[in-house]
Amino acid sequence: MNLEKNLMKLFSLPSFRPGQKEAISALMENRHTLAMLPTGTGKSLVYQLPGKLLKGTVIIISPLLSLMQDQVEQMKMNGEKSAVAINSFLNWQERNDVIKNIRKYKFVFISPEMIGTPYILNVLKKLEIGLFVVDEAHCISQWGYDFRPEYQNLGIVRKELGNPLTLALTATATPAIRKDIISSLALEFVEQVIYSVDRPNIALTAEILSSGIEKRKRLEELTNTLQGPGIIYFSSKKLAEQTAAELKQNSGKRINAYHGGMSQEDRILIQQQFLNGQLDIVCATSAFGMGVNKENIRYVIHYHFPTQVESFLQEIGRAGRDRQNSISILLYVPGDETLAYQLTEMELPNELQLNQLRRSLLPYTTYEDWAEKELAWIMEQFTETQWRVLTAYVQPEGKTCKQIEAKLNHFSEFCKNRLAVKKQSIHDMLAWVLLKQCRRSYLTSYFQEKEAPINSVCCDNCGLNMERFYSGQPINDKAELVGDGWKRQLAFILNKRREKADE
Amino acid sequence: MTFIEVIVLYCLQRIKGERTIYSVLHILNGKKSAQTIQDIHIFELMPFFQTYPNLSRAEFDRIISALKEQKWTTEGKTFQHYDINPKQEDEFARLLIEYPIPTHLNGWKYHRIAVGFWERLALSVQVASHLSKGDNRYMPIQRNIVVQAWMKQALQNYAGDRQSLNEQLYQELADCLDDEAVLPEYLVCRLTGSEHIGLTPEQAAASFGIDRSYYELYFLSLLHFMLKKILSAKEKFPFLRQMVMDDNTAYILTNSTKATYEYIQKGLSLDEISTMRRLKMSTIEDHIAELVLNIPDFSIEEYVSPDKIAKIKKIAEVTASKSLKQIKQQLPEVSYFEIRIVLAKLGGGIN
């Protein structure tokens, strides 16, 4: 089969990006495939092309609702109308409509929680499944940085669906995690297509500053001098918003915040404004970036301390998709990692909280009895994330209190292990920040890859002249709302034909 | 003073300490409870229903304490009752001239269709703008699949040339918005076309240099203005007309109340409905109150004796009070339900 021809015919693309063809060929030869392709290399093509060539429905498991929506919209934009997402954004009526007509769709995106429900699973069982895709597959591994308990059932789900041809996709996974993905999904004979995490056109630097005030000053300097567009990452919504407002006032640049606390409508607008060149800088939390296919992002600044090398790489990977020189700058004040450690500890329930739950179970025999009296106040003792992880792990519904207690003991072991993994991740990240040797080599060896090729624009430790990233020129001022008065503006927005009277 | 503080104070002034402050929050949020629906009618706060659907209780509490600190309010019978400070009434009247409440605001009438109308309008403008360039590769700014499905249908039904839908839309919008009484630029800046992405409400407020809560209310009133104009001259706005959601029911009722109403029309008693629908009697009573408020000729005689109606009316008029509790104290023999529906029937008529 000539894959290039199909690529041209179906997607109007002249050639594959690294890794795509190998993964697609393996799938077309009916082999399960694990593909690790860096962000920005068009991972979705790896299931879209075989999906169109193979018979049957393509099921795509995706962990983030917003990402799912984005992917569906992008496929629709590219002319693929038979894509749909089944998730909690749909109300009961809409979901029923989709399920009733499920056979009409070629690409079905679904959240891991949703596919685990018996009702949905029974619907899917009746379909012919051409390809089963697990996106962000590292979420399945307990040793991974982004473990999601909902992913754990996917091995069983796959089996229930009759072991369909499977593609596991990830952008960053160490060899141990890759092994875990394969065994959790119970895949036999897997073709692994692994591409280096190294992005040679992104220069790497970390700057150590003496205080928060110095860091803030340096940020302002950088945003004033760096050639944009750029993204600045923050760990909190509030800080992203505040800094965006301050920078905007002081620099005169077009800056806006973006975070998960904003309405969906606002988030789409900000993202599109950035893509369209109406914004120079976005001050964002980690919610920003997935699905932002902007080619010419010139820099990514980390104002906070990333909690793991993997997410750090994903975030800086949004720069330089056009393969032009770009830069990643991490700003660090000694002690920044403390907050990262604290946040990590809060993500999972501690023994104190678990003991409170254990004690409340004692007077009852079944979950239902207990829930009626105690659930409400017990839930308040946990954060939303903690409770989500706990219930996904323990699955208390229908269990006796004795069974729940036994499960809780396992869970508390599990939490200890997770915490250790996460602390190690922060430690590894800190080591990278404090590194005196080549920053690129550290990253490739972290993923046990061979040394990255020699790079003339490598990192601060290999000698880097930052000036090449500075620019006095403002960004091309595209897309200002043209015209005086609302009628002219409306005419501009709607591309109204000009009439003589208007000129 | 932010504009939302002005609105809250305005509402407090109207309810005169006869309800707790949270009744105002429920009105601004657009809570569909019989109590809230009754309140907006009695205190004539219909325009404000669901004007700030996302206002949180915490934010509302902050507004209340700010008003208190600035001496705009005085505490009423409990710490949850506030009235406008009598010494400040003149000052507030002056303030309302400076920051007028948008004339066209009509939350109660349009709350069910205003947001849907905006979503359809925003998507239509984007689609028409791109179609005029023969471009079909872009990210829709509206992700709601119901809105997208509507768009698809509207395009299929469109008799004209799709590539010139933009011209028609321009004409209809220009006609609709061309009015001295409104500021169309507050809406236009939010629209997205092929060359320009619209502003968020926050960006829009900043670009006009006005308070965000004022911008949001004005924007909403602009939608209400458009809806009124479109619905009163449908033939002039064939495409905009389609953006107004079909409202099959002549009356604005919650779904559950609609179901109860159907049973009543079949002649079932309240007890029977309660059993059949497996709903508490108090819920069914809420539905009745909602029906009384919304259906002008809905008869209450079946639920309250004429004698009791007269008594309740009299007390309400004499005391000029709309507090259920006060009336109940003077008329122990009537139930709260009876007082509620009689007051609802009287509506805003007694002041």
pLDDT single digits (tens) A393-420: 888 888 899 999 999 999 999 899 889 9
Residue of chain A minimizing CA distance to B138: A77
Question: So what's the pLDDT on residue A478?
Answer: 53
Query: Chain B contacts of A491, Cβ < 8 Å?
Result: 170
Buried residues in B254-276 as b, exposed as e (16+ CB within 10 A):
bebbeebbebbeeebebeebbee
The rounded percent of chain A whose pLDDT value lies above 70 is 95
pLDDT tens digits, residue range A286-325?
A: 888 766 778 899 999 999 999 889 889 989 989 998 889 9
Residue in A490, A492, A502 to test binding to B, most B beta-carbons within 10 Å: A490
Is it the case that residue A188 has pLDDT exceeding 90?
Answer: no
Triad B57, B60, B66: Cα angle to 5°: 145
Work out the average pLDDT over A277-294: 86
Question: So what's the pLDDT on residue B76?
Answer: 81
Question: So what's the pLDDT on residue B333?
Answer: 87
User: Is the Cα dihedral B221, B223, B224, B230 positive or negative?
Assistant: positive
Q: Say if B66 is an interface residue toward chain A (CB within 8 Å).
A: no
Question: So what's the pLDDT on residue A499?
Answer: 66
The rounded percent of chain A whose pLDDT value lies above 90 is 53
Query: Chain A contacts of B185, Cβ < 8 Å?
Result: 485-486, 489
Structure-token pair, residue A68: 């799912």
Same fold across A3-194 and A202-339+456-469 = yes
Chain A (276-315) residues lying within 8 Å, Cβ to Cβ, of chain B: 276, 278
User: Is the Cα dihedral B26, B27, B31, B36 positive or negative?
Assistant: positive
Lowest-pLDDT choice from A23-32, A127-136, A189-198: A189-198
Write a three-state SS string for A271-296: HHHHHCCCCCEEEECCCCCCCCCCCC
What pLDDT band is residue A467 in, cutting at 50, 70 and 90? Answer: confident
Work out the average pLDDT over A202-210: 96
Question: So what's the pLDDT on residue B196?
Answer: 93
Mean pLDDT of chain B: 88
Taken in order of first residue, the domains within chain B and their CATH numbers are 3-98 (1.10.10), 107-243 (no CATH), 255-349 (1.10.10.1390)
Question: So what's the pLDDT on residue B349?
Answer: 36
pLDDT tens digits, residue range B118-152?
A: 999 999 999 999 999 988 778 889 988 788 888 98
Question: So what's the pLDDT on residue B247?
Answer: 55
List Cα–Cα distances, A32 to A8, A88, A165, B4, in angstroms.
25, 29, 6, 58
Contact A265 B188 (CB under 8 A): no
Domain A202-339+456-469: top CATH class: alpha beta
Mean pLDDT of chain A: 88
Residue in A12, A75, A493, A502 to test binding to B, most B beta-carbons within 10 Å: A493
Is it the case that residue A203 has pLDDT exceeding 90?
Answer: yes
Distance CA A40, CA A362 (A): 52
Residue A141 distance to chain B (closest CA, Å): 32
Cis peptide upstream of residue B140 (ω within 30 degrees of 0): no
Residue with tokens 């933009």: B166
Residue A271 distance to chain B (closest CA, Å): 10
Pairing of strands B73-75, A326-332: unpaired
Contact A492 B195 (CB under 8 A): yes
Q: Which residue has the higher pLDDT, A78 or B7?
A: B7
Where are chain A's structural domains? 3-194, 202-339+456-469
Question: So what's the pLDDT on residue A473?
Answer: 57
Question: So what's the pLDDT on residue A190?
Answer: 93
Collapsing DSSP states into helix, strand and coil, what is residue A59?
strand
Question: So what's the pLDDT on residue B32?
Answer: 72
Work out the average pLDDT over A48-68: 89
Collapsing DSSP states into helix, strand and coil, what is residue A226?
strand
Q: Are residues A83 and A76 in contact, defined by beta-carbon separation less than 8 angstroms?
A: yes
> What is the CB neighbour count within 10 angstroms for residue A172?
26
Architecture of domain A3-194: 3-Layer(aba) Sandwich (3.40)
Q: Say if B116 is an interface residue toward chain A (CB within 8 Å).
A: no
pLDDT tens digits, residue range A262-271?
A: 988 999 999 9
Q: Which of A321, A340, A322 is nearest to A332 (CA)?
A: A340
ipTM of the complex: 0.79
Chain A (69-98) residues lying within 8 Å, Cβ to Cβ, of chain B: 69, 73-74, 77-79, 89-90, 94
Work out the average pLDDT over A422-431: 93
Triad B201, B202, B207: Cα angle to 5°: 95
Is it the case that residue B302 has pLDDT exceeding 50?
Answer: yes
Q: Torsion angle, CA of B102/B173/A478/B161, rounded to 10 degrees?
A: 160
List the single residue in A74, A256, A495 with the smallest CB-CB distance to B132: A495
pTM for this entry: 0.80
